[in-house]
């Protein structure tokens, strides 16, 4: 119960009230009723109470874990990279191994060492394919024309190999570390999103989610949450971006597989926690496909640096998801 009382200035609530008990006959009940000078304030207070009641009625949020994770493998690899080369970006091959250790859905990405090799790999991967130049020295590949999408024939693949080899003169790859021209299947029909990890000096690892692809920097539609994420945190991240409507389907475009995005965010949260050497991780884009078809990572990079210290994970209620 709330009250709204107009009184002389200086008179303040709450009001002391007395009334006959409806439960015990003859008993007098004494209560204090919050009082507000204006109805707007009373309505605001009731709104807060209603929101709090709705929040309390939600099912408890859960920390998920998965039974197909290999954190030791990813941690050993990142530590070895820091020990041998110091802070910096992982190679394409190392990046693939870290993502695989956490069951993150990277599209098959294979290194072609010649035009013949590229043509043979394209027919194994299945047309249409994408060819791109992958080297640690080239951060934004499409800026220099180093990504060729929608290649539908052997001829197109051979031509792409030649073009990318010419670009490689200015951005030399290291084939011993799995760098060079890579072939991937072309993923079409999804919405481009991005998922990342950054290391905040105060809060530790943060997980980022937003719309992705080469336009993401223009739109800046990205949200962050502190790891570890609960399933409810992951849903709030997904629903929190301005472009959420694009993920729900619009004008004949189907919606995307939100369950798969949530799972990907929760796996990323585990990676952020379990491998403290990860200073930055960008999956951009992650192609979010229609419900039941999951998502595919088509571009990934990971920066490692000497281990974070001091931030330990809180005790958690977890649920294991069988895969």
Chain residues in the site for ligand ADP (CB under 6 A): 107, 130, 132, 140-142, 147, 149, 184, 186-187, 192, 213-214, 284-285, 298-299
Instruction: Pick between residue 199 and residue 299 the one whose CB is nearest to ligand ADP.
Output: 299
Q: Which of 287, 299, 300, 302 binds Mg ion (CB under 5 A)?
A: 299
Handedness of CA 86, 87, 91, 95 (dihedral sign): positive
User: Distance between CA 197 and CA 227 in Å, rounded?
Assistant: 9
Of the candidate spans 48-56, 110-118, 143-151, 278-286, the one that interacts with Mg ion by CB under 5 A turns out to be 278-286
Which of Mg ion, ligand ADP, none interacts with 263 (beta carbon under 5 to 8 A by kind)?
none
173-199 exposure pattern, b = at least 16 Cβ within 10 A, e = fewer: beeeebbbbbbbbbbeebbbbbbbbbb
Q: How far is CA 7 from the centre of its chain?
A: 54
Q: Does 193 bind Mg ion (CB under 5 A)?
A: no
Site size with Mg ion, rule: CB under 5 A: 2
Residue 201: CB minimum distance to ligand ADP, A: 26
Q: Considering just the CA atoms, what is the radius of gyration of the chain in Å? A: 27
Residue nearest to Mg ion (CB): 299
Task: Please state the closest distance from residue 194 (CB atom) to Mg ion, in A.
Answer: 8
Q: Which does 184 bind (CB under 5 to 8 A by kind): Mg ion, ligand ADP, none?
A: ligand ADP
Query: Where are the alpha helices (H) located in the chain, listed in sequence order?
Result: 39-56, 71-85, 92-101, 115-125, 154-167, 216-219, 231-240, 244-248, 258-274
- Alpha-carbon span 112 to 116, nearest angstrom: 8
Q: Are strands 300-304 and 88-89 parallel, antiparallel or unpaired?
A: antiparallel
122 binds, among Mg ion, ligand ADP, none (CB under 5 to 8 A by kind): none
Q: Which of 91, 134, 230, 284 binds Mg ion (CB under 5 A)?
A: 284
**Which listed option, ligand ADP, Mg ion, none, makes contact with residue 3 (CB within 5 to 8 Å by class)?**
none
**Rounded CA gap, 317 and 319, in Å?**
7
Give the binding site for Mg ion (CB under 5 A).
284, 299
């Amino acid at each position: 119960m709330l009250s709204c009382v107009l009184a002389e200035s200086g008179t303040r609530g709450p009001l002391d009230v007395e009334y006959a008990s409806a439960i015990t006959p003859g008993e007098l009940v004494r209560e204090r009723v919050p009082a507000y000078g204006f109805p707007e304030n009373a309505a605001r207070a009731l709104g807060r109470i209603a929101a709090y009641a709705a929040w309390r009625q939600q099912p408890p949020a859960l920390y998920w874990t998965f039974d197909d994770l290999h954190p030791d493998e990813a941690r050993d690899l990142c530590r070895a990279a820091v020990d041998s080369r110091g802070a910096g970006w992982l190679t394409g091959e190392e990046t693939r191994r870290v993502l695989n250790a956490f069951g993150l859905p990277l599209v098959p990405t294979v290194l072609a060492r010649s035009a013949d090799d590229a043509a043979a790999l394209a027919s194994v991967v299945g047309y249409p394919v994408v060819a791109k130049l992958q080297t640690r020295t080239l951060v934004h590949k499409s800026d220099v024309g180093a990504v060729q999408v929608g290649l539908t024939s052997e001829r197109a693949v051979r031509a792409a190999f030649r073009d990318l080899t010419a670009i490689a003169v200015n951005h030399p790859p290291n084939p011993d570390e799995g760098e060079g021209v890579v072939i991937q299947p072309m993923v079409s029909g999804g919405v481009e999103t991005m998922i990342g990890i950054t290391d905040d000096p105060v809060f530790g690892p943060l997980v980022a989610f937003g719309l992705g692809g080469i336009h993401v920097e223009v739109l800046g539609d990205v949200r962050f949450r502190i790891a570890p994420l609960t399933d409810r945190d992951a849903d709030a991240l997904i629903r929190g971006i301005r472009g959420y409507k694009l993920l729900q389907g619009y004008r004949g475009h189907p919606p995307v597989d939100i369950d798969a995005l949530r799972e990907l965010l929760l796996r990323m949260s585990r990676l952020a926690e379990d491998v403290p050497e990860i200073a930055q991780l960008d999956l951009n884009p992650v192609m979010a496909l229609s419900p039941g078809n999951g998502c595919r990572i088509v571009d990934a990079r990971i920066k490692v640096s000497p281990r974070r210290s001091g931030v330990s994970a809180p005790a958690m209620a977890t649920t294991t998801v069988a895969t």
